[in-house]
Structure 1
Amino acid sequence: MSQTAKDLTAGTVGGIAQVLVGQPFDIVKVRMQTSAKGTYRGMLDCAGGILRNEGPLAFYKGTLSPLLGIGACVSIQFGVLEYTKRYFSAYNSRVGQDASQGAQLSSPQLVIAGALAGLGNGFVSGPVEHIRIRLQIQSNTNAVYRGPFDAINKIASKYGVRGIYKGQGVTFLREAMGYGAYFLAYEKLVQREMALYGIRRDQISPGSAILYGAAAGYALWAVIYPIDVVKSRIQTDGFSPSDGQKYRSALHCVRTVWRTEGIGAFTRGLVPTLIRSPFANGATFLGFEMASRLLSSI
């Protein structure tokens, strides 16, 4: 296998782990982000309502879409990230540093690598999350879509590709900013442990991969959470004024939500996100690192 193929495969493993661990928390986050003020008293009230009214399987509603899509998304993320890291390492060596120094990328280089990974991922994550969110906000009594493929078919037949990619601009903004911070945090922690103990990357313990992934997840959400709220609002909004569209653009969404619901609306659903983050992101990096080590022998 080529190194790029190995990176893509390991990224897929990490993405699947992320979805399976994080999906129940994500549906609570989305319900809270997109609900009117006062609908839920908090995370437990929201989760309890889903459990009572829709049953335990509702926490995995819309999972097929992210299981296929997020696996691809994380695969792209790590594929682009690792390729860009190799490019910068080679560049560092060419400008006079030795190989060991070249492997230690600077913070700006890591941010750029992470941002490019996020942008590459955004082409897939935008429509995947749009479809997932449409399915997550449905209750059993008002279901418009029978599943992800039915949702894609209905949206595409009426609104075309533009409908599938609804909210794509704010998605790209979120991905570039978020993954720049995400991979910077993780890679700096990995660099620190390697330097501190004089070990290779493949000698870092699984526990450290989980811990550093959890820290990276918090760095991600610290940067992007308000942007994520805007993305969720736009992706659950109507497609046109005749469909009840409330927001003409991302900026109009920000102004409207601020004026009608206050600044607190931009942090609604943050608690389940912060609870979910260390588990989902720890699982992501553990899956990637363990799969990478296994594939390195091929």
Structure 2
Amino acid sequence: MVGLKPSDVPPPLGVKMASAGAAACVADMVTFPLDTAKVRLQIQGEKNAVKGIRYRGVFGTISTMIRTEGPRSLYNGLVAGLQRQMCFASVRIGLYDNVKNFYTGGKDSNVLVRILAGCTTGAMAVSFAQPTDVVKVRFQAQMNLDGVARRYSGTMQAYKHIYQNEGFRGLWKGTLPNITRNALVNCTELVTYDLIKEAILRHKLMSDNLPCHFVSAFGAGFVTTVIASPVDVVKTRYMNSPPGQYKSAINCAWTMLTKEGPTAFYKGFVPSFLRLGSWNIVMFVSFEQIKRAMMITRKKIDANQ
């Protein structure tokens, strides 16, 4: 990311990828209940939803889930979520600077190049992490209620069950809307963070420290939520749907539009922003600190050799 002084040595690719994966896991563990609430709000209105349970707002959803299913339900799918981040964030965030430099030949990059780099790494990451995303979403949508059949009993069983019943296509279900969503999220998130941080440092409003990272991450989270929310809702609905409910992601979007209206695409916006905003803050702050710590450790090891 931005913020390196000319005299600084850029972190090697391995450090950036490991730092990004670790930071994303930290962010997921902190914000996972918000993500689960977002998923429940997004799928509300589906024909396979449990009758009699109505979610209202992010904190109302969390409260209802705790009351009806217990606190552990807020972390349904966490294992798959951490698996997703380790292979997803390490690619989309860790490779961003390298892809950006590849497109420019090491020269200064403009906004269009940064957007292209963000879209590229976001799309690349989906191709690796899609099965983990499918399992995570389905676990988050699954209710832990007496008398309600559970689709899956464990993470590995979920991968096996989806493969046996839906084939490889089931594990990669929703890849197109997920690529679209993550290309949008990644380029918006990283480019906005880059631009805000650069502006703060250029105008000397703050130094390259935690408050600067906090403000940059918060701004990136809000902008990203506004742009990516419609695609995110379609992705969640389509991934969670049983076979045959929708012909395609486009059909899912059209069904939502005709049956529920345009506002359906912004279902769960508040939890999406709370989750994505807080996720960005935790992730980028952790990423910057872990990356620096790894670089300091690496320099000490090199000095002692």
Which TM-score band (shorter chain)? 0.7 to 0.9
Equivalent residue number for residue 288 of structure 1: 287
Question: Which residue number in structure 1 is paired with residue 20 of structure 2?
Answer: 11
Q: Which residue matches 1:97?
A: none
Distance 1:268 1:32 in 2: 6
Deviations 1:174-215 (A, max 9, x none): 11122111111011112112322399xxx6111211221121
Q: Specify the alignment match of 2:39 in structure 1.
A: 30
**Hey, what does 1:263 align to over in structure 2?**
262
How far does residue 127 in structure 1 lie from its aligned partner after superposition? 1.9
TM-score (norm 1): 0.88
Identify unmatched segments of 5+ residues in structure 1. 93-101, 240-244
Pick one of 146, 154, 172 that aligns with 2:161: 154
Match of 1:136, as an amino acid? Q
Number of residues of Structure 1 aligned to a counterpart in Structure 2: 279
**Whole-angstrom CA distance in 1 between matches of 2:21 and 2:254:** 37
Q: Which amino acid aligns with 1:169?
A: L
The CA deviation at 1:77 is: 1.2
Distance 1:59 1:198, change over 3 A: closer
Q: Is the 8 A contact 2:11 2:291 kept in 1?
A: no
Match of 1:276 in 2: 275
My pick for the range that moved more, 285-294 or 30-39, is: 30-39
The answer to whether residue 133 in structure 2 is matched with residue 129 in structure 1 is: yes
Q: List structure 1 segments (4+ residues) > 3 angstroms apart after TM superposition.
A: 88-91
Deviation at 1:88, TM superposition (A): 4.5
Q: CA deviation digits over 1:134-185, x for unaligned, max 9?
A: 1111112321201211110101122221110100011111111221111110
Partner of 2:302: none
Asked if the contact 1:15/1:73 (under 8 Å) is kept, the reply is no
Residue from 74, 94, 98 that aligns with 1:59: 74
Contact 1:15–1:71, Cα closer than 8 Å, also in 2: yes
Distance of 1:211 and 1:128 partners within structure 2:
30
Aligned equivalents of 2:257 and 2:288: distance in 1?
A: 41
Distance across 1 between alignment mates of 2:235 and 2:281: 24
Query: What does 1:207-218 align with in structure 2 at a 5 Å threshold?
Result: 207-218=211-222
Higher mean C-alpha displacement, 19-28 vs 30-39: 30-39
Contact kept? 2:114, 2:187, Cα under 8 Å: yes
Q: Confirm whether residue 116 of structure 1 aligns to residue 120 of structure 2.
A: yes
Alpha-carbon distance in 2 for matches of 1:179, 1:111: 9
The alignment status of 1:169 with 2:169, answered yes or no, reads no
Kept in 1, the 8 Å contact 2:256–2:264? The answer is yes
1:251: Cα distance to partner?
A: 1.5
Aligned to 1:196: 203
CA distance in 1, matches of 2:58, 2:92: 30
User: 1:109 aligns to what SS in structure 2?
Assistant: helix
- Contact 2:38 2:272 (C-alpha < 8 Å) held by counterparts: yes
| Structure 2 unaligned blocks of 5 or more | 1-9, 47-52, 299-305
Range moving further from structure 2, 31-40 or 224-233 = 31-40
1:49 to 59, 64, 85: 64
**Residue 111 of structure 1, CA deviation:** 0.7
CA–CA distance in structure 2, aligned partners of residues 247 and 184 of structure 1: 33
Aligned to 2:98: 83
> C-alpha separation between the residues in 2 aligned to 1:264 and 1:247?
20
Partner of 2:235: 231
Q: In the alignment, residue 288 of structure 1 is paired with which amino acid?
A: F
The 1-side partners of 2:241 and 2:23 are apart by 31
Shift of 1:115: 0.9
Going from structure 1 to structure 2, the CA distance change for 1:215 and 1:255 (only over 3 Å counts) comes to same
Q: Does structure 2 conserve the Cα–Cα contact (< 8 Å) formed by 1:80 and 1:120? A: no
Q: Which amino acid aligns with 1:160?
A: G
Partner Cα distance (2:116, 2:42) in 1: 29
The alignment-based identity, stated in percent, is 24
Q: How far has the Cα of 1:258 moved from its partner?
A: 1.1
| 1:95 equivalent in structure 2 | none
